[in-house]
Structure formats: C-alpha cells, structure tokens
C-alpha cells in the first residue's frame, strides 16, 4: 500500500476511468475483472438506501453473480440497441483502514437510443471499497446509489 496520497489518488482514478471505459466501449465481458472474487455489487435507489431498505435493482454476490449478469446482457435479455456513456466526477478517497480504501464518486450515465436524443439515464454516487490484489486495485464492494427512484424503461447494463 502506498503511503503517498497523491499516488493513491492517481491509482484510484485510473481504476475508475478504466472501469467506465470498459462499460462505455461495450466490453461488458471484461467487467467482472475489476472485482475481487468475493465482491458485492449493488445498484440501489437513494430512496431505499436512505430508508435502510435492502432491495437493490441489481444485486451481484461474488464474481459469479457478476458473470451471471454478463450472461443476461450478452445472451438472454431482449432489448433495444443503445449507447451508454459514463461521466465521473468528484472521485474522493474517504479513508484507508486495514487495507481497504473507501472511495466515493459521482457518476452520470448518458443513454442514446437509436434515433433518439441523448438523455441522462441515471445519476448518482458510487460508495466503494477497494483492495489491493496482485499489482493493482480491485473493487471489493461497489454500491451505486442512484438519485431518481424512477428508471426509464429498463436498467439493463451495469453502472
């Protein structure tokens, strides 16, 4: 673990940027590689999160859960074509303890359906726990808390 906060910040940002690039470039098969084997991934509305209600729109337990979601996106689900683009801001290292790095960041996902204008599909914050694995950082926990309870049509791809 680096003691230099600037270096850590650089590493964290690199991970986040690579993560959203993977999703934006349509390489969802590589998405589980950003996580530890025992990870927890959850997309939850701000309403449920703030009321202490556990229901997420998407819940993946461990890398297996992520891979099942990938199968759904690439094989079983039926949906209209779209382009997605993540905008990240305010990536902040909130604390480091026992090898776990707490990171918070804002995100907005832009969605462009065929023959439609680009819209803000989903916006919220990541509340993540990162750990060092091998020579890089991975997500041990990724919580996407989205602001609007209302989802336009479907939430198909991970955020």
Partner 1 sequence: MNESLPYKWPEEGNSRIPYWVYSDPRVYEREQERVFGGASYSFVALEADIPNPGDFKRTKIGDRPVVVVRDTDGGVNVLVNRCAHRGSRYCYREHGNAKEFTCPYHQWTYDLTGALISVPFRRGVKKQGGMPDDFRLEDHHLEALKCALRGGVVFASFDHTMPAFEDYLGPKMLGYFDRVFDGRELSILGYSRQRMRANWKLMFENLKDPYHASLLHVFLVSFGLFRADNPSQVQMDEKTGMHSVQVSRRGEQKASEGTREMRQFDQGLRLHNPEMLQPVPEFPGDATVVMQTIWPNLIVQQQSNTLAMRQIQTLGPEVFELHWTFFGYADDDDGMTMRRLRQANLMGPAGFVSIDDSEVMEAAQFGLGKYPDAEAVVEMGGRGVEDQDHMVTESSIRAFYDHYRNVMGF
Which residue ranges make up the site for partner 1 (CB under 8 A)? 43-45, 47-48, 53-59, 61-65, 67-68, 71-72, 75-80, 149-156
Residues 6 and 119: their CA atoms lie apart, in Å, by 34
CB 35 within 8 A of CB 110: no
Of the two residues 9 and 67, which places its CB atom closer to partner 1 in the complex?
67
| Rounded least distance, CB 48 to partner 1, Å | 4
| Rounded least distance, CB 56 to partner 1, Å | 7
Of the two residues 25 and 61, which places its CB atom closer to partner 1 in the complex?
61
| Rounded least distance, CB 63 to partner 1, Å | 8
If we measure between CA atoms, which residue out of 119, 122, 121, 118 comes closest to residue 147? 122
Of the two residues 76 and 89, which places its CB atom closer to partner 1 in the complex?
76
Q: What is the DSSP letter of 116?
A: S
Residues 40 and 59: their CA atoms lie apart, in Å, by 8
Q: Which residues of 3-38 are buried (b: 16+ CB within 10 A; e: fewer)?
A: eeeeebeebbeebbeebbebbbeeebeebbebbbee
Of the two residues 28 and 59, which places its CB atom closer to partner 1 in the complex?
59
| Rounded least distance, CB 51 to partner 1, Å | 8
Structure tokens at 37: 């084997």
């Amino acid at each position: 673990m680096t003691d230099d906060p600037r270096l850590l910040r650089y590493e964290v940002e690199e991970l986040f940027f690579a993560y959203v690039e993977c999703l934006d470039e349509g390489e969802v098969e590589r998405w589980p590689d950003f996580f530890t084997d025992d990870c927890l991934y959850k997309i939850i509305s701000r309403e449920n999160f703030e009321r202490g209600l556990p229901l997420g729109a998407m819940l993946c337990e461990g890398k297996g859960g992520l891979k099942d979601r990938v199968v759904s996106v690439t094989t079983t689900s039926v949906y209209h074509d779209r382009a997605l683009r993540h905008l990240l801001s305010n990536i902040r290292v909130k604390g480091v303890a026992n090898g776990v790095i707490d990171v918070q960041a804002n995100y907005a996902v832009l969605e462009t359906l065929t023959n439609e204008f680009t819209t803000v599909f989903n916006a919220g914050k990541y509340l993540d726990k990162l750990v060092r694995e091998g020579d890089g950082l991975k997500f041990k926990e990724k919580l996407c808390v989205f602001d609007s309870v209302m989802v336009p049509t479907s939430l198909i791809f991970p955020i």
